[in-house]
Amino acid sequence: MAGSRLEKIGTIYSRASGLMQSGASRWEDRPLWYDLYEAFPPKEEPRYDRPAPNLKLRQIFYQEDKIRALFHKHNKNIGAVNLLQKEKKTLTQRFIDHYSIVEKKYENMEEPQKIYDEALELLKREQDTRNEIIEITSEISDGSQVGESKGEPLKINIGDIFK
């Protein structure tokens, strides 16, 4: 039933236990987490009506996270990444490497635009040597996205696709 409030009646553990005790579910078909829950039960029962703990959350941002966010904010269409190729660095990681090198070169520079531009230039030169065709933008303050139409619509002929 769509309006059911079964999550308010007991916990998922008590419902799974009840199903096994009543014979509606076999012991062999128990969920993977069931044995762990029995071995290490939580200090407080995880009920829906339990008040949220008042904990102060720590910020866990690293310096490279800020650089990565800056890069992805202005370069949204950088292509897919194959995560199985661990020996090959991603475009973002290569940009972070270039940015950190330039940042060390200009330690006291207060203008992140110049550091960003120079790191981007290094990345573009590296792309030229690798023959990669990925468009990268160099404007930090510009709100436009890469890949926006430059006033000329894309013309595709359906008949050419199926030849």
In a domain, 80, yes or no: yes
**pLDDT band at residue 131 using 50, 70 and 90 as cut-offs:** low
Averaged pLDDT, 129-157: 56
Are 67 and 51 part of one and the same domain? no
The pLDDT tens digits of the residues spanning 1-20 come to 455 566 677 888 988 999 99
Instruction: Give me the pLDDT at residue 17, please.
Output: 93
Q: Same domain for 74 and 121? A: yes
- Identify the burial level of 127 via C-beta atoms within 10 angstroms of its C-beta, where 0-12 means exposed, 13-18 middle and 19 or more buried: middle
Domain assignment of residue 103, yes or no: yes
Domain that holds residue 40: 8-55
Which whole number is the average pLDDT over 106-129? 84
Number of structural domains the chain divides into: 2
Instruction: Output 100 or 136, whichever has higher pLDDT.
Output: 100
Does residue 143 lie within any of the structural domains?
no
- pLDDT level of residue 138 (50, 70, 90 thresholds): low
Average pLDDT of the chain, as a whole number: 80
| Whether residues 50 and 78 fall in one domain | no
pLDDT score, position 163: 66
pLDDT in tens, 66-76: 899 989 988 88
Q: Is 145 a domain residue?
A: no
Q: Are residues 83 and 124 in the same domain?
A: yes
What is the pLDDT, as a whole number, of residue 23?
A: 93
Q: Is the same domain home to 75 and 41?
A: no
Q: What is the mean pLDDT of residues 41-65?
A: 86
Model confidence, pTM: 0.50
pLDDT for 145 beyond 80: no
